[in-house]
Amino acid sequence: SFTPTLVNEARFGFSLFNSDQVFPITGQAAVEGLGLTGLDVTLHPGARAFPCFNFSDGTSFSSVGGGSGCGSPKVAPLASGSYSFNDNVSWVKGRHTMKFGFDMRRVHYEEVDNYGGGDEYGLFTFLRNTYTGNAYADFLLGLPYTDQVSNTGPYLNQTAFHWAAYAQDEFRLAKSLTINFGLRWELTPPFMDANGNISQYLPATNTLVNP
């Protein structure tokens, strides 16, 4: 409080989330360790997760592994956070109660890309009545019905700065009449990715722009 009619309020805050689950072996090592041969599992060098083996068809077994193909969270880094600072000034002068302020936020998001299936970890599906008649037996023999892997590129590592400022006035024209008016400006640009691994949709031309 600078004076009885002039008050300044400043706030700073942050929120951070970090989850770094790491499986002790890579997808390629897991496949080789199980003796599965002839499978296309050329994983992205950054992949650190166990592939998904789905042999639940006609059996009582659940799928094993990570990634969206197994319906389980990815075993990979995931981090997000924000830092914010805002300042507000209240000034009472005569019949006016004025307020001014601004807000600045830095937001950050980091995650291994996820486009469905087994992502870059590998997804191996075993179906009944394909080779031996039992999905789990096919798994033990290393005979999947399908195998797939996606080349998803580098991790998402995105940062953006959001800005806002405002000014408003509460003007008491009379005991029974008060006018409130003000103006607020905001700038919320899109994320910038450290790896350039992001696309932008242009509605005017119905096209995607890729870095």
* Residue 9: band (very low, low, confident or very high) from pLDDT cuts 50, 70, 90: very high
Per residue in 123-173, pLDDT tens?
A: 888 998 889 999 999 988 888 888 877 666 567 889 999 999 999 999 999
Encoded tokens for 83:
């830092």
Per-residue pLDDT, averaged over 77-103, amounts to 94
Indicate the pTM of the whole model: 0.59
More confident residue, 147 or 31: 147
Per-residue pLDDT, averaged over 59-81, amounts to 71
Per-residue pLDDT, averaged over 25-52, amounts to 58
